[in-house]
Structure 1
């Protein structure tokens, strides 16, 4: 008697009403600029406007996965705005390879190296062991312990993905939460992790996808920012917002006499593979931080650990498969979208719709930061950066401010949106613990994010200028 195994059917995910409406609206919005003549916009710009509107609606409604929309953007640009366009007649067009190149943009290579190091840190337990060691000076006092948790979370989030950092730190914090009495203190400790992960992610180019999107757009305009240069711009804001967040969370949720015991055992992997990983990861970070001294670009440095870790077999093909490829494709789609908006003249047309120069610069920057934070609160911060960074850089032309500052500001603002469980993956991780009510997350996100947005829009440009960073 023989038995036959029947492979289960793979069911397509069902779409919500919002997703179905997003698909319908996206198709309609895509067709309109192609069907009617838009005054003041060249045919190439009309085609790019169709792609842009489709991307906005698909990203906002998540009718298809974010990374799928990113790849669709690249494909449509090749089929409509390249030398391989199905319908020509709109003048000289860039080669299709220029759009496909977004998938191997130097910023993608930089993030590839960062992701591989982050996965290696988790594989060999480096992230959790470092957290345990670095937390020891903060033990003994509830508020001081929370400061330590937030500082270590932010530090890890500068080099490891926000999501992985939040998951790692909650592995440390869950036993602490279980020992605390039910009440505000548990909420405060649980909230401290996602807030610190979100804020820490702004500190380096590899800390958050919006940073990579801004870097790619700036490099396309010949205004690249070095790894250490980004840190000089972002870390002061990160530190001030982090300290404010600690002050707010502890004063609202955690009494000074709250008992808090930290489990601080560390057991570093001392196997040959782990030691090789420590050396390669540490050397990479050191090279990133000393880029002005040796002149090797951060993207090239980011590719070194990829080669070294794979060649030494410290990381394997299975590790490669586990990398966050959807995030890399999403960033690539944003880079391609920005290039298309600039090449087609759509940016100039969109900016020309309003008299931006009539607004005071401070109000304009506040509006730009506010829109970035607001939109990132309800949709992916990566999608928000994909949509706003190219427009912001075009808007900066002719204004009395360095375009680099504007691109960086939009990226940083996207990471300050943390008011809802859907705003960022660390928020979702915290919400899943059951210790963080949505109302508490909304309040802390509004207060901390709002404080950071005001500081970013009204103070940071002046500070950057005074320090000669731009």
Structure 2
């Protein structure tokens, strides 16, 4: 038995290597049973999907497989694969990352966060709302992982003032004989009760003062339970709001940009989605979801009471709220006065957003109409602002410097240095985007998209509204266990062909699929923000699953509501657009040309 256990442990240690070697072999029957071109492309797609899901190779390395496999298997020539890795969509994403790097460089994001918390108030429900609003706003421009990592230390400082120093350091307590029997554990770390917190502050040389009445003991137990639930509400609200906030802008999360890139690949004639139109659709959805999510988290964790009886606030709680306000104010004071660099970054951040919104807002002519049609894009706008950041001075220029011979002749630091950009920009995500676009191009050129469409005939009788609901549920469930980026790369080609079979606008299925893959709230492994919050040690899997289940359901229903109301008129979803017919014609031509080239050796 022990030998078997040892063998299993050894196999588990090399599981990634086993997946790496066995997956290509297991998928070989696909090459023999399907039409040649479609089979080869499906082989590559499934191979990449399994590598992504199991992380047998790093995600970015898997994303580069089309550069090798598509040319060798005769699916696409290298000259058509490689350009997919740096489309204008990738540069739009890069510009957003560079803007975020400049914001982080000068601590502007922390100033914004603390200012919002000062404005909303220090009651737990208000603080949770402030945390969620701030995290969601930051996640619109920064990555959701960075937003969560930045907000959790702020939450920790606030909670320390609300519930006491010892409560916040509970994860460092391994054993303590002074912890009463009533203390609870979260499965990972012991959680001291309010009784312990109070008595720990008393004079240790006067133990007779520790004795308390049974009634006070009961009150303190209730207070501890309340604090423990609010603590969890804080930790859960931050990653959830980061995931929700990222959906509001095209640059907020990678799946949004993958949608944009694949639409340009599949339907070159489609020009209804840009930064401005996406914001008009996604921002109201984010606000509604954020408010409902806040209500659900606050009510389920006791931060908001539904009881009709008016309860008097305990002196302990009132004092804690005063201390919390002092901590937030003190942290903001430590930032010092706003410097020139912060003002400059904020100005360019606002300019960045305004130019993206107004380039081609659709309902009125944008500034892009002053240039030749098709010559400008959101990427042009983003990279323009990004380049300015690399030379704009971080200190206010002084005219007197030119006339003062004794003034120090030091080089002025720019708002953003290339070293900072290299350190903070996740280049692997850009490769991951490119891999998705290359996969989409391969599916189109090989005819795999059409082949998948012919296999979706049983779904043609579905009402479109029901199809949206089922697709969102499916993808939201799938992304609980897999990367949202990998999930949407695999599903978008299928959704586009399903829409054509249903005779509906492809955006009607592709948009909810894209947004739905960001609604992963139930498991710690679902998204990096969830993992960061869970790693604090104060959450159980059941805490996230219980709260996240209703969050998932709310997200699915709100997304279906949005797609059938304001999104319908914004993206003309009630029509079957001409650019779909052009796409269908192109598929036929591409498949015929590819087959001819293979036959003739051209």
**TM-score above 0.5:** yes
Aligned partner of 2:232 among 173, 187, 193 = 187
Q: 2:29 aligns with which of 17, 28, 32?
A: 32
The offset of 1:254, in angstroms, is 3.2
Moved more, 377-386 or 21-30: 21-30
1:339 to 428, 433, 441: 441
Q: Aligned-pair distance for 1:430?
A: 0.8
Q: Show the counterpart of 1:284.
A: 352
Aligned equivalent of 2:386, options 306, 320, 332? 306
Query: Which of residues 114, 128, 146 is equivalent to 2:110?
Result: 128
Query: Aligned match of 1:366 in 445, 453, 469?
Result: 469
Worse-superposed segment, 255-264 or 57-66: 255-264
Aligned to 2:86: 104
- Distance across 2 between alignment mates of 1:315 and 1:247: 39
**Alignment gaps of 5+ in structure 2:** 1-10, 164-226, 305-312, 361-365, 369-375, 393-413, 573-602
Does the 8 Å CA contact 1:284/1:304 hold for their aligned counterparts?
no
Asked whether 1:81 is paired with 2:129, we answer no
Deviation at 1:454, TM superposition (A): 2.4
1:324 maps to: 426
Confirm or deny that 1:247 pairs with 2:295.
Answer: yes
Check conservation: 2:484, 2:517, Cα contact below 8 A.
Answer: yes
Find out whether 1:151 has 2:133 as its counterpart: yes
Change (3 A) 1:455 1:215: same
Distance 1:254 1:446 in 2: 18
Which whole-Å deviations, capped at 9, do the CAs of 1:16-73 have from their partners, x for residues lacking one?
4553443244212443223x142xx3x2211101101101111111111111111113
Of residues 437, 454, 468 in structure 1, which corresponds to 2:557?
Answer: 454
Q: Does 1:19 align with 2:16?
A: yes
| TM-score, normalising length: structure 2 | 0.70
Consecutive unaligned residues in structure 1, runs of 5 or more: 1-13, 83-93
Q: Is the 2:124–2:230 Cα contact (8 Å) retained in structure 1?
A: no
SS of equivalent to 2:480: helix
Larger radius of gyration: 2
CA distance in structure 2 between the partners assigned to 1:102 and 1:466 by the alignment: 30
153, 160, 183: which is aligned to 1:171?
153
Query: TM-score of the superposition, structure 1-length normalised?
Result: 0.88
Residue 8 of structure 1 corresponds to which residue in structure 2? none
Match of 2:511 among 408, 413, 423: 408
Q: Aligned pair 1:294/2:342, yes or no?
A: no
Which residue of 2 is the match for residue 9 of structure 1? none
Change (3 A) 1:269 1:431: farther
Partner Cα distance (2:230, 2:500) in 1: 48
**Residues 166 and 426, structure 1, Cα contact 8 Å, conserved in 2:** yes
Give distance in 2, aligned partners of 1:333 and 1:138. 43
Deviation at 1:460, TM superposition (A): 2.1
Within the candidate set 189, 199, 215, 2:244 is matched to 199
Q: Report if aligned partners of 2:256, 2:515 keep a CA contact under 8 Å in 1.
A: yes
Classify 1:468/1:112 alpha carbon distance in 2 versus 1 (closer, same or farther; 3 Å).
Answer: closer
| 1:232 CA displacement | 1.6
CA distance in 2 between counterparts of 1:422 and 1:62 reads 13
Tell me the CA shift for residue 238 of structure 1.
Answer: 1.3
Which residue number in structure 1 is paired with residue 280 of structure 2?
Answer: 232
Which is further off, 261-270 or 67-76?
261-270
SS of 1:359's partner is coil
In structure 2, C-alpha distance between the alignment counterparts of 1:189 and 1:78, rounded to whole Å: 50
